[in-house]
Amino acid sequence: MNNEPNAHQNTKPGWGFALLFGGAGAAMMVGMALVRDGLEAPLWVAEIAACTFVMAGLTIFFQWKGWMGLQRLAALGVVYCLSVPGLWIMAGADTGTCISSLGFLSREASNLECRIVFGIGGLITLAIAIGMTVAIMRMLFARYTSRKKD
């Protein structure tokens, strides 16, 4: 991990934004667990979607502290969390319809169209997360092998 001082560490926005995003996500997670009315997805899908904000808050906090290794892992968590709702819509139970819009024009889209569009988005996001995972693993392996040679 990089423990070099971060030039932005003494600024309050880093801490404030971390608290804002992380707190909002945590509040959503608790709220959904307590009051499930209105959820149109399983609780676990909604909780993972809200966890995106918690992970974003951690990403900001770790970067603010200069803990770049943890920042990368939290950012990876953000991307994995972002992929889940689209993948669930693609493979989950019948979601009915969704609204498709282009500028000021909107229409009701079929179940299949919703699954295709959200599924492609989920698959692209998952591919990005897997690519990030491979890059982080390569970086860690390179560090490990370079230290082992010393």
**pLDDT given at position 51:** 98
Residue ranges of domains in the chain = 12-149
10-residue mean pLDDT series, the chain (150 residues):
52 80 96 92 95 97 92 96 96 79 89 92 98 94 81
Give the whole-angstrom CA distance, residue 150 versus residue 133: 26
Count of CA atoms in the C-beta half-sphere (13 A) of 17: 14
Give the whole-angstrom CA distance, residue 39 versus residue 16: 29
What is the Cα Rg of the chain in Å?
19
Tokens, residue 75: 């950012």
106: which DSSP letter? E
**pLDDT given at position 6:** 54
> Strand pairing of 105-109 and 98-102?
antiparallel
**pLDDT given at position 8:** 52
Burial 47-60 (b: 16+ CB within 10 A, else e): bbbbbbbbbbbbbb
Tokens, residue 143: 């560090």
**pLDDT given at position 9:** 54
**pLDDT given at position 100:** 86
**pLDDT given at position 149:** 72
State the DSSP H helix or E strand holding residue 35, giving kind and residue range, or none if neither: none
Q: pTM of the prediction?
A: 0.82
